[in-house]
Amino acid sequence: MSDSLPREVEQLTDCELNDLISQETGCGPIPAGLAPLDTMKVRFTTVINSDKPAVEEAVHCFFLRFNKFQVAQYGREIPLVSSYISI
């Protein structure tokens, strides 16, 4: 058995591949919430580890960027619920 995919399958996007698998297995269509993923804007480009410190760091960085946006947009930071809780 070969490790590589056929050329026509290799060119498919993630959603197109899921759709093909769905059609060939008869398991139904891609759930509506996932179906448009190929056409949506990419919001996250970084992959993080799934451990607690990595998730905490990602959330912390998100809030730092969000606070900078608030200062630029509104001239001040707006308190967030997350500033009052710890993960």
Percentage of residues of the chain with pLDDT beyond 70:
76
The alpha helices in 32-81, defined as continuous H runs, are: 52-74
Report how far residue 32's alpha carbon sits from residue 72's, in angstroms, rounded to the nearest whole number.
36
Query: Residue 66 corresponds to which tokens in the numbers above?
Result: 């969000």
pLDDT of residue 8: 85
Nearest-CA neighbor of 15 among 1, 41, 36, 32? 36
Q: 82 versus 33: which is more confidently predicted?
A: 33
The whole-model pTM stands at 0.37
CA distances from 59 to 41, 79, 83 (A): 20, 15, 11
- Rounded to an integer, the average pLDDT of 4-31 is 82
Q: Answer yes or no: are the C-beta atoms of 34 and 15 closer than 8 Å.
A: yes
pLDDT of residue 87: 46
